[in-house]
Amino acid sequence: MNAPFDHAAKLGIVPVIAIERASDAIALADALLEGGLPLAEITFRTVAAAEVIAIMAEKRPELLVGAGTILTPEALAAAIGAGARFGLAPGFDAEIVAAAKTRNFPFAPGIMTPSDLTAVSRKGLKLAKFFPAKAAGGPAMLEAISAPFAHLGTRFVPTGGVSIDNMHEWLKLGAVAAVGGTWIATKADIGEGRWTDITAKARAAVARARDVREANR
């Protein structure tokens, strides 16, 4: 893995965030930083995504900000142009993977099946998002489909249905680099300005990831 994903793996948690208003970018960044989580995946599920990334990248450079839900080469270009330092997608698209490699942009496509994982491996990628993690079969499914690829050193960021209550089930798997946390900063939290709640959830997630990792060493 390259530097941004190495950092995510050390933390064990990637907050996956859909934010509607660019005006909330700084408050959100500060809430995450205060919670000891200097990392954010801003998803391209809202029209504000690129602007939010640009604001965070410029005003809060200590926050490692990346882009999620990259579904088109245009979205990839917008993410890079805004200052995103890494990107993820829910599925595998060879054109996007190639474009990311050309730009030397750290990128993790999504997988759900052995065929998806074969495509990722053939491109020489060492990190993939496992999505939708819970609906696709949970930790047992990821452990099963990743086993034939273990010798390649591929690792995963399971996202979708992961929570503070079950993240330990994922993080105890050696192939899991980090979990995607959609609960840390929800649309409702951001929309209603519940910054202290976001800080508290970020702090709890970081502590939980650390405790699980230490217990499974």
Give me the active site residues, please: 41, 129
State which amino acid sits at residue 37.
L
How many C-beta atoms surround the C-beta of residue 174 within 10 A?
11
User: What are the DSSP E strand ranges found in 33-85?
Assistant: 39-43, 64-68
Sign of the torsion formed by the C-alpha atoms of 157, 159, 162 and 164:
positive
> Distance between CA atoms of 13 and 210, rounded to whole angstroms?
10
> Distance between CA atoms of 67 and 22, rounded to whole angstroms?
14
